[in-house]
């Protein structure tokens, strides 16, 4: 039911967007786009996926092997599930899949996925904070966004870097959240603690993972900038470092299907000083392709990953 509601909300937002822009203009934007930049920007999905898979390989403990092909299978398979299932179930299934294949224990595999996602979020916030510092036209709204992003980055770094602070954070949060959410947060707390014990004992691996995550999100944001060039529009790259992460964060709000709708509206809003609504809507469609293309490539793996999801549900029950 939640999935149907999110799809409905996405459709409503898209209808509102397309009712307010020149739809013929949107078609014309694609007709006039730069074909070479289109191919180049869409092809960025390949190095992004390969680097993500390589990072997953590097996260594995010594003595636990994960081939590069298997890592790609896990990344692509989870991309499919994240498109069709709620609550990033694809990432949870990825953790179970690693356990099922004998790569890791169940708790450690979940800890690994938690650390992977934490690195992604902090890297995104880092680039966004860097871009917002350089952003020249900050009004009250953008100053508020800068403070919020900086606060989120500091909080994330403290959660990742200080086990006592993380314990205090989870203890306080468990007291104020609804009862039905407490079991999930308790599981996250346990995984977070194991993650601290595991990753901080190997500073070299921690540094490598951090640097790879920052570079990986540079590639993500570079791809969005190349989308803008594809549409024959122009935004300075450092401006894109501020605006595109804000749109991505808007798409992470649990309101719509795979961020479709909220992300599109955010792109039109944030880039309105640089190009018109039709170009912003076209950029939203290209940004959605960043999630659709890996999911399409991973479709042959859907059966295996769905079996992992069923096992997750059986384990939870």
Instruction: Return the percentage of the chain with pLDDT > 90, whole number.
Output: 49
133-152 pLDDT, tens per residue? 999 888 899 999 999 999 99
Model pTM score: 0.90
247-301 pLDDT, tens per residue? 999 988 878 887 899 999 999 999 999 999 999 999 999 999 999 999 899 888 7
Given a cut of 70, whether residue 107 has pLDDT beyond it is no
Distance CA 258, CA 261 (A): 9
Distance CA 299, CA 261 (A): 23
Distances (CA, A) of 186 to 73, 135, 181, 197, 240: 29, 39, 9, 17, 37
- Pairwise pLDDT comparison (138 vs 109), residue with the higher score: 138
- Pairwise pLDDT comparison (42 vs 182), residue with the higher score: 42
Distances (CA, A) of 56 to 65, 67, 123, 127, 291: 11, 10, 16, 21, 18
Given a cut of 70, whether residue 188 has pLDDT beyond it is yes
Q: What pLDDT is attached to residue 124?
A: 96
């Amino acid at each position: 039911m939640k999935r149907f509601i999110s799809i409905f909300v996405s459709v409503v937002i898209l209808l509102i967007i397309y009712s307010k822009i020149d739809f013929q203009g949107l078609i014309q934007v694609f007709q006039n786009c730069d074909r070479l930049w289109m191919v180049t920007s869409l092809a960025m999905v390949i190095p992004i996926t390969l680097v993500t898979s390589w990072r997953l390989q590097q996260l594995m403990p010594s003595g636990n092997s994960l081939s590069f092909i298997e890592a790609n299978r896990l990344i692509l398979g989870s991309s499919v599930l994240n498109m069709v299932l709620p609550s990033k179930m694809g990432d949870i299934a990825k953790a179970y899949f690693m356990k099922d294949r004998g790569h890791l224990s169940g708790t450690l595999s979940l800890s690994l996925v938690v650390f992977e996602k934490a690195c992604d979020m902090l890297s995104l916030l880092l680039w966004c904070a860097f871009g917002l510092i350089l952003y020249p036209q900050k009004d009250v709204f953008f100053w508020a966004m800068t403070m919020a992003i900086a606060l989120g980055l500091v909080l994330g770094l403290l959660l990742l870097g200080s086990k006592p602070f993380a314990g205090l954070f989870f203890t306080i949060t468990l007291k104020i959240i609804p009862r039905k959410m407490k079991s999930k947060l308790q599981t996250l707390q346990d995984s977070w603690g194991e993650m601290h014990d595991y990753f901080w004992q190997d500073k070299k691996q921690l540094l490598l993972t951090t640097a790879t995550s920052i570079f990986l999100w540079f590639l993500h944001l570079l791809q969005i900038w190349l989308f803008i060039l594809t549409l024959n529009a122009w935004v300075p790259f450092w401006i894109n470092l501020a605006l595109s992460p804000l749109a991505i964060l808007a798409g992470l709000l649990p309101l719509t299907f795979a961020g479709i709708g909220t992300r599109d509206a955010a792109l039109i809003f944030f880039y309105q000083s640089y190009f018109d609504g039709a170009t912003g809507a076209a950029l939203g469609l290209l940004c959605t392709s960043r999630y659709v293309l890996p999911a399409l490539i991973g479709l042959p793996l859907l059966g295996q990953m769905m079996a992992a999801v069923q096992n997750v549900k059986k384990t939870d029950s």
